[in-house]
Amino acid sequence: MDDNLNHRISSVLAVGMIASIIVLFIGLVMLIILGGDYEEVTMSLSEIAQGILQGNPIAVIDLGIILLIITPLVRVISLAVTFAMKKEGKFVAACLIVLILVAVTVILKSGA
């Protein structure tokens, strides 16, 4: 991989990590300031969005966790696009296999 590609990919990881840390920090500050008794619940993406709009600090923290989880996936997608533009079929296939495996795992875990 050339230096420009390495720089872009590391930037994707850095931006994702920084964004997730900022969102997590905001959620924690909201939790400290607002207080309250929040029970442990599993929220869907739409419930997280609603919770954020309602000022629920747990929803904000959940968003930060989601950002942290999807950052490596965005990296793999970025690599796939870059390899496709460079016509590197083997590497595109490898990226797609990784994405398919992640998707299958998420589907199987959500159905369990």
Q: What is the pLDDT of residues 30-89, one digit of tens each?
A: 999 988 777 777 888 899 999 999 999 999 999 999 999 999 899 999 889 989 998 999
pTM attached to this predicted model: 0.77
Indicate whether 5 pLDDT > 80: no
Whole-number pLDDT of residue 97: 95
Cβ-proximal residues to 86 (8 Å cutoff; 6+ apart), any chain: none
**pLDDT band at residue 21 under the 50/70/90 scheme:** very high
Q: Sign (positive/negative) of CA torsion 66, 77, 17, 108?
A: positive
Whole-number pLDDT of residue 104: 92
Number of H helices and E strands in the chain, helices first, is: 4, 0
Do 63 and 52 form a contact (C-beta atoms < 8 A)? yes
